[in-house]
Amino acid sequence: MLYYLFDFLDKSYHLIGSRLFQYSTFRASLAFIFSFLIAIYVGKRIIRKLQKHQIGEIVRNLGLPGEVNKKDTPTMGGIIMIIAILIPIFLLAKLDNVYIWLIVFAVISMGAIGMVDDYIKVLKQNKDGVKGKYKIFAQIILGIVVGAVLYAHKDVRVKDFEKVYYYNIQFDGQVDWEKPVKSANFKKGMQVETIENGYYVSHDIRSFKTNVPFMKDNLWDYSYILKPFTDDYMKWGWIIFIPVVIFIITAVSNATNLTDGLDGLTSGISAINMLTLGLFAFVSGNIVLADYLNILYIPESGEVLIACAAVVGACVGFLWYNAHPATIFMGDTGSLMLGGVIATIAIIVRKELLIPVLSGIFLAETVSVIIQRLVFKYRLKRYGRPYAEANRFFKMTPLHHHYQKLGYFETKITIRFWIVSIILAVVAVITLKIR
């Protein structure tokens, strides 16, 4: 809203300073500050209300250090983050941007299913919460919406472009070696964009292309999978693309949910992830930087930076209350929402193949659970239950509980996981240049 207000003031009254709102970096900075302050302000009041209504954590008696102290600590703190994310987005982002509405949908849909889950666990005293199949169904719906919009919406496009100079541009079948091009006398569908010392000839297309890390020619199209089966494979690429989107959103959302087990762990890692995705959004939405880094240029994706900044501010503001010893937990309301948003933004900026690197902690937590179950089932079948239970691969899963069982303090585990997450984020960023 503020973007449109100051745009009007600039055009109508030439108000000094109003042009600052044209810059996504300025609005992103404000979004971070607003989100943080909103989380601080709203958090205190929500904690009081949750304490008043006795909406507290249910301890599962897993024999973990400090577990008893967590009993009755207010949960459903994800509500704080949802409020702190949505208000700055509506205030500062361009509301005609399709990517912003996809992110808003991810926040609300995943936050809602997480809230229902927390409600059943806490108020209905049912520790299982929402049945797993219903969570998966909600994640599939989000995946279908994100995949379908990125495929079909008229404003979603990527640009394949090459930098050319006026002396070697062809138009009308001829080459003009002296006069610079002033208008788009190119083949149909091509567009000229002036950038200082040359021109970018860009093809506006809808595409299933994505950036592949560590490869020299780092673009790959999901529709290529269908190439052996049909000559019209580009038309049917959505058959591959949408299921991939569903899988990524489901996997990341559940992985984030599994990681939420220590004070400040998920909120800190999510802030690091979102800060990195904000950087990706910024360079993907800038034609000069996208060309320099040899990544897909995605028009209007720079606006996603505002949403990323709002999420980072919300996570940091929530961490104010969630740092050890936590006065509130995010619950599934927050963890499912954060996972859904991280996955959605990664897909929007075509960096979803970097998720195993960027969100390596989430991946490790999930893999630890899978390994634990597979090894237990194998040993149960091969050696019997007493041996299988006495010789588990990890002392407890998810992975952070394994380190708790080894005697590490909760804060040490959390901070070390943050450090690893920062290192992984740096690795994810440098993949932009490593080919």
> Within 13 Å, how many C-alpha atoms sit on residue 275's CB side?
18
The verdict on residue 312 lying in a domain is yes
The single residue listed with the structure tokens 């959605």 is 344
Instruction: Please give the helix or strand (H or E) that residue 366 lies within, else none.
Output: helix 360-383
Average pLDDT over residues 270-295: 91
pLDDT at residue 82, rounded to an integer: 97
The structure's pTM equals 0.88
- Number of helical (H) and strand (E) elements in the chain, helices listed first: 15, 7
For residue 335, is it within any domain? yes
Q: What is the pLDDT of residue 171?
A: 43
DSSP state, 79?
Answer: H
Tell me the C-alpha distance between 322 and 316, whole Å. Answer: 9
221, containing H or E segment: strand 219-221
Identify the pLDDT of residue 430.
Answer: 92
User: Of the given ranges (191-195, 206-210, 212-216), which has the lowest mean pLDDT?
Assistant: 191-195
Question: What's the total number of domains in the chain?
Answer: 1
Is 217 a member of any domain? no
Examine residue 362 and state whether it is found in any structural domain, yes or no: no
Q: How far apart are CA 341 and CA 241, in angstroms?
A: 18
The arithmetic mean of pLDDT across residues 333-340, rounded, is 95
Give the pLDDT score at 61.
66
Helix (H, G, I), strand (E, B) or coil at 198: strand
The per-residue b/e assignment along 131-163, b for 16 or more CB within 10 angstroms, e otherwise, is eeeebeebbeebbebbbebbbeeeebbbbebee
Between helices 24-52 and 78-92, what is the axis angle to 10°? 150
Q: pLDDT band at residue 205, thresholds of 50, 70 and 90?
A: low
Residue 46 falls inside a structural domain: yes
Domain span at residue 248 reads: 2-152+237-283+301-353
pLDDT score for 187: 41
| Helix H or strand E segment including 163 | strand 158-164
Instruction: Find the mean pLDDT for residues 24-35.
Output: 95
Distances (CA, A) of 262 to 71, 127, 217, 326, 423: 13, 18, 41, 9, 20
> Quick one: average pLDDT of 406-434?
94
Distance CA 80, CA 41 (A): 9
Identify whether 44 is part of a domain: yes
Whether residue 158 contacts residue 296, with contact meaning beta carbons closer than 8 Å, is answered with yes
Among 30-34, 169-173, 364-368, 397-401, the range scoring the smallest mean pLDDT is: 169-173
Residue 404 lies in a domain: no
Residue 7 buriedness (CB in 10 A; 0-12 / 13-18 / 19+): middle
Pick from 206-220, 375-389, 403-417: least confident? 206-220
Kindly state whether residue 24 falls inside one of the protein's structural domains: yes
Radius of gyration of the chain (CA): 24
Question: Virtual CA dihedral for 146, 250, 106, 123, nearest 10 degrees?
Answer: 150
In which residue are the tokens 């954060």 written?
Answer: 338
